[in-house]
Amino acid sequence: MCIRDRISFAAGALALACVSQAAVAGPTLDAVKKKGYVQCGLTDGVSGFSATNSKGEWEGMDVDICRAVAAAVFGDPTKFKGTALSTQQRFTALQSGEVDVLLRTVTLTQTRDTSLGLSAVAASFYDGQGILVNKKLGVKSAKELNGATVCVQPGTTTELNLADWFRANNIEFKPVVIDKVTEVVRAFESGRCDAFTDDASQLAAVRATQVAKPDDYEILPERFSKEPLGPMVRQGDENWLGIVRWTLFALLEAEEYGITSKNVDEMLKSNNPNVLRILGVTPGAGKNMGLDEKWAYNAIKAVGNYSEVFERNVGKDSKLGLQRGTNALWSKGGAMYPWPIR
């Protein structure tokens, strides 16, 4: 190689290095660091996923993922703020920059991922749409709901799935469209509609925590759809997309390798190279995203691994008592298959 070629090659390599370096710190991360917190779009009223308690504090599975992102970025899970959004507000709020990440029990679909200027991160919870009815109605299947009134929220995949399933089964129904989930529950409980449709996990939350007599209600066996729920961010900022995605994967990888909020400090001494990469003892993953190498350690220390997050909010340690099912790790028969941190 001649001197001129070597100079050209070196200049090209330097240019590539500069481009790579510039790609690390994206506009969202810069803005988040400047204001000092992560703004998360949530829903106020879905127990187990995101709701405020009697003290006005945010709780739930989606909230814990938000806290994990804050811990990954700042080393402090309290550096987040929640914005309660309706189904009709949520995408506009993310598009406009009002929130940094949308964690509002959002179903990840092709249309939402390609036509709204938004990007799906990854599924944090696999669900399916169901129907909740009062036992007094005397039905055991959704196919017995011909002529029924059904409460549903507008602007959701739930509304579309409801119409598709009833039409496909030649069943007539009358939708009662109400925006806020708390108002939907009140309308349903008062008898304004015969049935209430939503993701099955959210129906379980409503039955367990939001009606006066939970035993009076049951979820019918049919599931109308696939509902992979997960975070969304704005398109065009791959750095921020990566931060949110890999924070979620870190919680899943932690479960896979037996890292918990209680033993994470002890695991810093592990002989497993995968564990050392996850926790930042072996450096690289943090630098790739413009974060401290302890980003995953901080997230796991703050909220625990995925199993801890699940069981505490919607699983066996919660009022909902949901089974892991599809949300179990791939190694235990579920669909949760995190990409490797390496």
Tens-place pLDDT, residues 70-82? 999 999 999 999 9
In the CATH scheme, what is the code of domain 26-126+229-327?
A: 3.40.190.10
Strand 101-102 with 38-42, pairing:
parallel
Q: Is the pLDDT score of 17 beyond 70?
A: no
Q: What is the 3-state secondary structure (H, E, C) of 119-143?
A: EECCCCEEECEEEEEEHHHCCCCHH
Span 280-300, average pLDDT: 98
Instruction: Report how far apart, in Å, the C-alpha atoms of 240 and of each of 17, 115, 295 are.
Output: 20, 19, 14
Q: Tell how strand 118-120 and strand 232-234 pair up.
A: antiparallel
Q: Are 323 and 310 in contact (CB under 8 A)?
A: no
CB count within 10 Å of CB 187 equals 16
Task: Write out the two tokens for 130.
Answer: 């169901």
Q: How far apart are CA 201 and CA 53, in angstroms?
A: 19
- The whole-number average pLDDT for the span 292-311 is 98
The pLDDT value given to residue 13: 47
* Mean of all residue pLDDT scores within the chain: 92
Q: What is the pTM of this model?
A: 0.87
Q: Which residues of 247-269 are buried (b: 16+ CB within 10 A; e: fewer)?
A: bbbbbbbbbbeebbbeebeebee
| pLDDT value of position 199 | 93
pLDDT digits (tens, 9 = 90+) for 251-267: 999 999 999 999 999 99
Q: What is the pLDDT of residues 238-248, one digit of tens each?
A: 999 999 999 99
Confidence of residue 21 (pLDDT cuts 50, 70, 90): very low
In angstroms, the CA 211 to CA 335 distance is: 31
Domain 129-225: CATH architecture, name and number where available:
3-Layer(aba) Sandwich (3.40)
**Residues 236 and 284 sit within 8 Å (Cβ to Cβ):** no
What stretch of H or E contains 238?
Answer: helix 238-256
What whole-number distance in Å separates Cα of residue 67 and Cα of residue 101?
A: 12
Domain positions in the chain are 26-126+229-327, 129-225
- Closest among 119, 335, 92 to 243, alpha carbons compared: 119
- pLDDT of 318 above 60: yes
What is the band of 24 on the pLDDT scale with cuts at 50, 70, 90?
Answer: low
Is the pLDDT score of 249 beyond 50? yes
Distance between CA atoms of residues 288 and 243, nearest Å: 10
CA distances from 32 to 79, 173, 229, 231, 289 (A): 10, 46, 24, 17, 14
Quote the pLDDT of residue 7. 44
Rg (CA), the chain: 22
Residue 118 phi, psi dihedral angles, 5° rounding: -125, 160
Intrachain domains 26-126+229-327 and 129-225 with the same fold: yes
